[in-house]
Chain A
Amino acid sequence: MEIPYTTEARPDTGLYNGKFGIWLFLASEVMLFGGLFSAYVFLRNGASDWHAWHEAAELNISLATFNTAVLIASSVTMVMSWASLKMNQFGRYRMYLALTVLCGLIFLVVKYFEYSAKFHHQHYPSTNTFLAIYFTMTGLHGIHVLAGMVVNTYFLGPGAKMWRTEPLRLTNRLEISGLYWHFVDLVWIFLFPVLYLL
């Protein structure tokens, strides 16, 4: 059975189906992370010594700033990869997508070192309320980065074969993957100041 509206827009929505689908999914993701941000405010309001917990956690702001730049860079390479397909430049598409996956990998490696430092200092999610919400939010975000990398790696490898048969469909698939990736970047843009700076 052929999947309808993968390339042409559906008349009533004005969108190809995949795009409408990813926006509905992202709306549910906003609520998922929104719930955690809400929990963060609630926990922080109720805490007697939030500031002390935050100080004791000794979060590495330099590493987090570096990671912010890495994720922003990956968003640019992601959109450039999609734009390359639009401009019929398949070689560039692969290069930019590979860079995107690489940036995701760098982000997770840095995160691994951050987590290791915390565990080394006996800082666990059970240590205090701040660390609990810190590990929950950054952990969930990290899983999202990993998921995006898996999808993008697929489009770098076997998924790229579609370019020979249905180039427009592949371009749209990459736009959908990009929308998800940019959303993950967007979440980090809020996580960074909320967890590290304030």
Chain B
Amino acid sequence: MDAHHHAEAVRKHVWVYVAVFLALLVLTALTVTARSMNFGLALAVSVALLIATVKGSLVAGYFMHLVGEKRLVYIVLAITAIFLLALLVLPVLNLHDGLVGTGTGPWSP
């Protein structure tokens, strides 16, 4: 948000913050409830990460004012996202190395 943002516009944003707060609480309750449903691992991971992503987007979009932020911030975050994705995809690739779940990999005690 611009430094010279008018007080009146901020006043209008206050109800958005309250709405986001309530949504975050509901989503937290939802993710805890989803756990008691005893989904299979794949579905449980998908549901939990989906809810977390929605919650994270709400925090970043509204509390951190990413909605309507300057282009340069988006560029920085896009580059970061690419490297983060690489970090997260790397360990998933080892699912096919034949060592998964065997406890025989180099990570074993």
Contact = CB atoms under 8 A, between A and B. Distances in A.
B80 A30 contact: yes
Contacts of B99: 46
A68 B56 CA distance: 12
- Chain A interface secondary structure, helix, strand, loop or mixed? helix
Interface stretch (A10-18, A108-116, A138-146, A150-158): A10-18
Contacts of B84: 30-31, 34
A47 interface: yes
Nearest to A28: B80
A80 B107 contact: no
Contacts of B64: 178-179, 182-183
Interface string B85-109: 0011011101100011111110111
Interface string B70-89: 11110011011001100110
Contacts, number: 156
Nearest to A41: B91
Contacts of A86: 5, 7, 10
Contacts of A87: 7, 10-11
B3 to A, nearest CB: 6
A53 B38 CA distance: 18
A185 B59 contact: yes
A53 B100 CA distance: 16
5 contacts: A9-B3, A37-B87, A38-B91, A69-B28, A76-B63
Interface of B: 1-3, 5, 7, 10-11, 13-14, 17-18, 20-21, 24-25, 28, 31-32, 35, 41, 44-45, 48-49, 51-52, 55-56, 59-60, 63-64, 70-73, 76-77, 79-80, 83-84, 87-88, 90-92, 94-95, 99-105, 107-109
Interface of A: 7-9, 13-16, 19-20, 23-24, 27, 30-31, 34-35, 37-39, 41-43, 45-49, 61, 65, 68-69, 72-73, 75-76, 78-80, 83, 86-88, 128-129, 168, 171-172, 175, 178-179, 182-183, 185-186, 189-190, 192-194, 197-198
Given A38-B88, A76-B21, A179-B64, 11 more contacts: A31-B87, A34-B83, A34-B88, A37-B87, A46-B99, A46-B107, A47-B103, A80-B14, A83-B13, A186-B59, A192-B52
The list of the 6 closest CB pairs from A to B, nearest first, reads A48-B103, A42-B91, A193-B48, A46-B105, A41-B91, A86-B10
